[in-house]
Structure 1
């Protein structure tokens, strides 16, 4: 791979940059493969994946010795793990060092698609906390919904809004993660075609866009709240310069993440960098020095609110109707239904945490919500017509019949091919591979209806 000379020249004075090894690493082009397991579904990585080492800065991250065909892994489609670049998993370390995860937090992942950082955050937060994952581009928001549905939690919402829309709820969030759109130079090794799109003009454009995004969302962070800013760019204009811009234009102070232990990041090969004007501290990842791609992260705390604080209104718990019949039906589908809240909108039934009823009202009044909690399905004459989200959720009841299928049958199911499993089951059942549910099917004696979503089906053939 031939890197742009303008990029190499711009990095010559950047902290931690080592030209010879940096260029050689990109020439070799050997990008590591890593996954992060979903602790709500599994405790250890699936046995068939060839685990090499744990990712040191993430409790659930693992490197693989080789990249499998994830498309043909039922465990992947069941949401037991997410394929995520290792450097970006540093977000876990940043969160743990900057905020108390024992508290009930409202968290915003502003530029969330496809969902790597959102699924990571969802695994860190306690069940009383609320995660709002936002994506401004509609098509990418749909992908985000799919990945958050795989993660299966009730305390995660997906919105499709411009960053400035969040200013309507001033001081609402305790933590905001802005993994900002950038020039993407940190991913050149993984995506060599991106090299042709890189330019200094694009870097300048991205820097201005990053400033606008931060300015637009700032009011929604509460006083004392934490901002985590990251990019997959090497350019100072998108990293250290943005740190100085934040301190010049927003009421913030920089947070040093490794203040208590200044040696641990050295051991991991992560570079501590300082901005030119304010000497604020950020963290750089170079692929010749860490086992991962290029990445940058910096942390800030809001020290002063210069807006009218948002006050959460009291919301009287409500049910749209008596729900006696619905409750009897849903008890069959949902574990611990008494500890959860469900509501109906446009004939769809959703499951959320009761602690978030007021939050739901606030978000509905100010933002466009694409996904709230778990979409259960629609109520038929005598039973629930279940949605795919319910099958993948961690709230599904142990009373629901489950059909375990072979690997070949699982792939046929995921391809939405017709097959007739040998089973005494009748009616709705979860189709599972090695105990992990992939979606719904309906057994009708000599026929089996495959209800895997058409838009998610595997289109290619086994290699």
Structure 2
């Protein structure tokens, strides 16, 4: 298929690419590659798929299936993510020691591709703050974080300037900045329709403001990873060169494999990495990493006399004491009726986050406590830290799993009365409560599959329904 590109965009790219422009334009007329990234805490890596070469857990699919009809997606066993953006893994592996306990910020986190990727790469002793400035998108981010199940993640809904007030808090900051979206033209025609020279200028100015607003929150010696899904120099190389003129920052040069097809660039000593669709199997993408060489250290946090995070009582802790694999690693706090597990090693820092930011979700929501009874919550079912023997399991087939995810009544065979963990192919989906002659479906209403299953299952060959776990 051919695409009609904005005339001034064509002129820009002809100047930028020279003789390679024809191949670039031709690539934009081809179908976008389909790729996923696997959550190894929940699913083994597939053996029959082509790997995305710059990540250990990414794979290309031969065609786009109906992901909605794969229960494993809903269980957080994998994430559908554009392949180029998985290059974040190389930036992290090559610029920081991922075995260390790190405080990491994903500033523009929704819908969750990079946040879940970071969560899989950092150590269990680390803390990730996944932020999103738009409230509705922050809720989607929180949903995807819960499904991924890492536990050491806090989701916030704040302007970058609020996070910038946490002086020297973060070892690593990832800024996947809002951009003009040129790299998404073949995937999202709306991006092409909205493109203009004026919008490029507007995005460039916004990106610089974001970088300045959040810069103080990075520790001296800390790493900033900056990325966009656009091609132009203004939003990429020129922004990095501008940052280096404003602040004390030095480039981090990454090692590339020739077969990746990634284009390394340099402007005023700052290195950048570009993905063009005629050279790599992915969409347009830019990434650069810099190290902060000056700035203020974080202040020492002290225990508050009136903490925002109120510890659970002994009786409340006793209700859930057998639910987590390593209970000693978690501090249990209670807010309203919700009992939550937070990483014990980070409690002083978490107190600062909860006091100073709008926290949408944090840690693991374990239970709703009422009258000395604990009702397990969806995040616990999906958590990587749920003790395997804490609750009875009920394995279901794909059609039953889809009905459960649609919030329909389901039958759970051979399970005792009480709370039951509903699973598909060994991956937890959520809770059912078995009563004498029925099962109450406790899958969250806001997460349910909204498409008509009757229509979908008629259209699909039920036996041939896609699942990554096959």
TM-score normalized by structure 2?
0.92
Counterpart residue number, 1:427:
418
Alpha-carbon distance, 1:255 to partner: 1.2
Farther off after superposition, 101-110 or 338-347? 338-347
Alpha-carbon distance, 1:16 to partner: 8.0
Farther off after superposition, 72-81 or 12-21? 12-21
Counterpart residue number, 2:42:
41
Alpha-carbon distance, 1:331 to partner: 2.2
Equivalent residue for 2:441, pick from 450, 455, 462: 450
Structure 2 counterpart SS, 1:132: strand
1:173-219 deviation per Cα after TM superposition (whole angstroms, max 9, x unaligned): 01000000000010111112321111111111000000000000000
Counterpart residue number, 2:357:
367
Gaps of 5+ in 1: 259-263
Number of residue pairs matched? 449
Counterpart residue number, 1:312:
300
Give the distance between the partners of 2:19 and 2:223, measured in 1 at CA: 28
Farther off after superposition, 382-391 or 281-290? 382-391
Equivalent residue for 1:289, pick from 279, 290, 293: 279
Alpha-carbon distance, 1:68 to partner: 1.2
Residues 159 and 371 in structure 1, CA contact (< 8 A), matched pair in contact too: yes
Residues 185 and 294 in structure 1, CA contact (< 8 A), matched pair in contact too: yes
Counterpart residue number, 1:78:
75
Counterpart residue number, 1:413:
404
Residues 329 and 345 in structure 2, CA contact (< 8 A), matched pair in contact too: no
Note if 1:270 corresponds to 2:262: yes
Note if 1:395 corresponds to 2:368: no
Structure 2 counterpart SS, 1:93: helix
1:301-353 deviation per Cα after TM superposition (whole angstroms, max 9, x unaligned): 11111x5x321323389995673322332123222223321111122111111
Structure 1 counterpart SS, 2:49: strand
Matches within 5 A, 1:119-134: 119-134=116-131
1:358-409 deviation per Cα after TM superposition (whole angstroms, max 9, x unaligned): 1111111221111110111211334311111111001112221111112111
Residues 251 and 269 in structure 2, CA contact (< 8 A), matched pair in contact too: no
Residues 420 and 446 in structure 1, CA contact (< 8 A), matched pair in contact too: no
1:133-160 deviation per Cα after TM superposition (whole angstroms, max 9, x unaligned): 0000000000000000011112111010
Gaps of 5+ in 2: 460-470
Residues 285 and 293 in structure 1, CA contact (< 8 A), matched pair in contact too: yes
Matches within 5 A, 1:185-204: 185-204=182-201
Residues 101 and 125 in structure 1, CA contact (< 8 A), matched pair in contact too: yes
Note if 1:14 corresponds to 2:11: no
Equivalent residue for 2:251, pick from 249, 254, 278: 254
Matches within 5 A, 1:197-346: 197-258=194-255, 264-275=256-267, 278-305=268-295, 307=296, 309-315=297-303, 320=310, 323-346=313-336
Structure 1 counterpart SS, 2:24: helix
Give the distance between the partners of 1:246 and 1:43, measured in 2 at CA: 41
1:407-434 deviation per Cα after TM superposition (whole angstroms, max 9, x unaligned): 1110110111123333342111111112
Give the distance between the partners of 1:41 and 1:316, measured in 2 at CA: 37
Structure 2 counterpart SS, 1:237: coil
TM-score normalized by structure 1?
0.93
Residues 276 and 284 in structure 2, CA contact (< 8 A), matched pair in contact too: yes
Give the distance between the partners of 1:142 and 1:344, measured in 2 at CA: 21
Structure 2 counterpart SS, 1:104: coil
Cα RMSD (Å) of the superposition?
A: 1.8
